[in-house]
């Protein structure tokens, strides 16, 4: 069966003949022209052809061209405040279908119409996601484009609602063209190539991703899980752990010993050690909380022996916050002596110096616990990863001293990692308490660090 894109392409091809200026004989039209025509065309064939032209023209733009394009979207395709106001007044006057429809139409900005039309072109959805990715990078410099982002986000959030997502297991049996995207998208602990990937898909690991039907073979987000005994605290050890070889495709609970030749791991804990969003253009549209919960259910189903579900997570904002506190003369949590000790971090080899570590470990542990629990931004934790997992109903379980000795790990969080535990019987309660009251759940072990 021909797929959608091939088919739309052939309709677009037929319609192209009809568009003055883009048919085989004619010269190219400008992108603004095409956009305006696309919004006013009543016919479907011409519409698809125009949308396809817009997609191609957009893809051919360089950085400057794209800014000019957004500028045009801002100037010529924004909602009309006068019309909206007029419709809002009419609707206030009388609430019937006519006024409501008119108001809906007025508020549906020309941009939304344009974007919905573009979505019908071959690769339309992917193009809109890419457009938002480009646009987000410009928002700081061009705050006037934020309405465009608002429109794109509104549409994408509506289309990528979780009722339309499917969870898929990723394994060494997955097609290579999907697997290579994992290597590209892995954002937390870089994959060095196919051998590294294969290790992460071995028997004692699991990987799951969300997909959307309009983005075939394109993961939206994926999570990597290690099946281990007890809580894991060090990422380099976890990644380097040798593969347990076995004839059997699934890790199993310890067998009765008669098959001594294939020792099976007696794991009891699932460690979520990496969660990567794949589509920058879907920023702010949340999938992660659903991903983790569904993966926990999958794993429990496959391995009834699992007793704990926890992450081994980076603390990406710790050093930045710490540096600010150090600079802050009014800091209530850093003493001058602390400041002196923290200078030790400037040495590139402090982790190799036992004396250094002895001094820093209690100090940094205390400060990091404080950061995770008390540092806030708007109505949530300052640390983005903490915000994510606590928002999902996890609790802060344990800090891991020198859990990540990579350059990036030292840089972000002085090498510290944290476990967020998903305690099944508490996860919904924690989630609701966090969302509604901002309450953070912690283990008794972590509680002690807060004094």
Contact positions with its own copies (CB under 8 A) in 124-183: 124-125, 143-144, 146-147, 150, 154-155, 158-159, 161-169, 172-177, 179
Contact 224, 207 (CB under 8 A): yes
Within 10 Å of residue 364's Cβ, how many Cβ atoms? 26
The stretch among 9-17, 28-36, 218-226, 316-324 that binds its own copies (CB under 8 A) is 9-17
Contact 46, 18 (CB under 8 A): yes
Active site residue 389: yes
User: Least distance to its own copies from the beta carbon of 311, Å?
Assistant: 18
- Return d(Cα 121, Cα 54) in angstroms, integer: 9
The packing angle between helices 97-107 and 81-93, to 10°, is: 160
279-to-24, 121, 275, 394 alpha-carbon distances in Å: 36, 20, 13, 25
User: Least distance to its own copies from the beta carbon of 435, Å?
Assistant: 4
DSSP secondary structure string, 331-372? -SS--HHHHHHHGGGGSTTGGG-HHHHHHHHHHHHHHHHHHH
Q: Is 214 in the site for its own copies (CB under 8 A)?
A: yes
* Residue from 194, 216, 213, 197 nearest 205 by CA: 197
Contact 133, 277 (CB under 8 A): no
Q: Which residues in 286-305 contact its own copies (CB under 8 A)?
A: 289-290, 293-294, 297-298, 301
Query: Residues 100, 199, 241, 277: which binds its own copies (CB under 8 A)?
Result: 100
CB nearer its own copies, residue 41 or residue 412? 41
Q: Which residues in 418-447 contact its own copies (CB under 8 A)?
A: 427-429, 431-432, 435-436
Q: Which residues in 255-284 contact its own copies (CB under 8 A)?
A: 258
User: Least distance to its own copies from the beta carbon of 169, Å?
Assistant: 6
269-to-208, 227, 311, 322, 419 alpha-carbon distances in Å: 17, 6, 10, 32, 12
Active site residue 109: no
Q: Which of 313, 370, 413, 431 is catalytic?
A: 313
CB nearer its own copies, residue 58 or residue 321? 58
User: Least distance to its own copies from the beta carbon of 135, Å?
Assistant: 13
Q: Which of 189, 212, 370, 389 is catalytic?
A: 389
Q: Which residues in 33-72 contact its own copies (CB under 8 A)?
A: 42-46
- Give the list of residues 6+ apart from residue 188 with CB closer than 8 angstroms, or none: 273, 274, 275, 276, 314
CB nearer its own copies, residue 49 or residue 449? 49
User: Least distance to its own copies from the beta carbon of 260, Å?
Assistant: 12
Q: Is 101 in the site for its own copies (CB under 8 A)?
A: yes
Q: Which residues in 350-409 contact its own copies (CB under 8 A)?
A: 393
User: So which residues are the catalytic ones?
Assistant: 313, 389
């Amino acid at each position: 069966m021909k797929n959608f894109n091939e088919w739309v392409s052939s309709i677009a091809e037929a319609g192209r003949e009809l568009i003055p200026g883009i048919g085989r004989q004619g010269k190219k039209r400008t992108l603004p022209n095409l956009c305006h025509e696309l919004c006013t065309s009543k016919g479907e064939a011409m519409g698809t052809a125009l949308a396809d032209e817009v997609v191609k023209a957009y893809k051919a733009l360089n950085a400057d061209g794209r800014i000019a394009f957004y500028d045009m979207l801002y100037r010529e395709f924004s909602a009309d405040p006068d019309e909206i106001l007029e419709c809002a007044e009419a609707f206030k006057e009388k609430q019937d279908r006519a006024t409501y429809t008119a108001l809906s139409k007025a508020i549906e900005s020309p941009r939304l119409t344009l974007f919905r039309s573009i979505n019908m072109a071959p690769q339309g959805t992917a193009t809109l996601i890419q457009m938002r990715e480009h646009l987000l990078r410009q928002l700081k410099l061009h705050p006037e484009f934020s309405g465009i982002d608002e429109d794109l986000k509104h549409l994408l959030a509506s289309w990528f609602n979780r009722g339309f997502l499917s969870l898929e297991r990723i394994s060494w049996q997955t097609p290579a063209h999907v697997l290579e995207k994992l290597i590209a998208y892995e954002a937390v602990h870089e994959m060095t190539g196919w051998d590294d990937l294969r290790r992460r898909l071995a028997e004692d690991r699991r990987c799951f991703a969300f997909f959307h039907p309009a983005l075939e073979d394109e993961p939206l987000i994926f999570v990597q899980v290690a099946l281990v005994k007890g809580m894991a605290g060090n990422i380099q050890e976890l990644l380097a752990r040798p593969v347990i070889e076995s004839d059997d495709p699934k890790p199993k609970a310890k067998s009765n010993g008669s098959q001594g030749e294939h020792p099976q791991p007696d794991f009891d804990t699932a460690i979520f050690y990496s969660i990567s969003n794949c589509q920058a253009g879907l920023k702010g549209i949340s999938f992660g909380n659903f991903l983790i919960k569904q993966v926990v259910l999958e794993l429990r189903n496959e391995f009834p022996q699992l007793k704990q579900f926890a992450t081994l997570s980076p603390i990406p904002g710790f050093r930045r916050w710490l540096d600010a506190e150090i600079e802050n003369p009014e800091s209530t949590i850093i003493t001058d002596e602390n400041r002196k000790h923290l200078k030790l971090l400037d040495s590139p080899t402090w982790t190799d110096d036992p004396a250094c570590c002895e001094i820093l470990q209690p100090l940094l542990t205390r400060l990091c616990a404080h950061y995770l629990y008390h540092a806030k931004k708007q109505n949530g934790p300052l640390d983005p990863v903490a915000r994510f997992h606590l928002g999902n109903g996890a609790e802060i379980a344990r800090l891991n001293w020198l859990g990540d000795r990579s350059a990036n790990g030292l840089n972000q969080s002085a090498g510290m990692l944290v476990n967020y535990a998903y305690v099944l019987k508490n996860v919904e309660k924690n989630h609701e308490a966090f969302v509604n009251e901002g309450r953070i759940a912690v283990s008794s072990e972590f509680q002690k660090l807060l004094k």
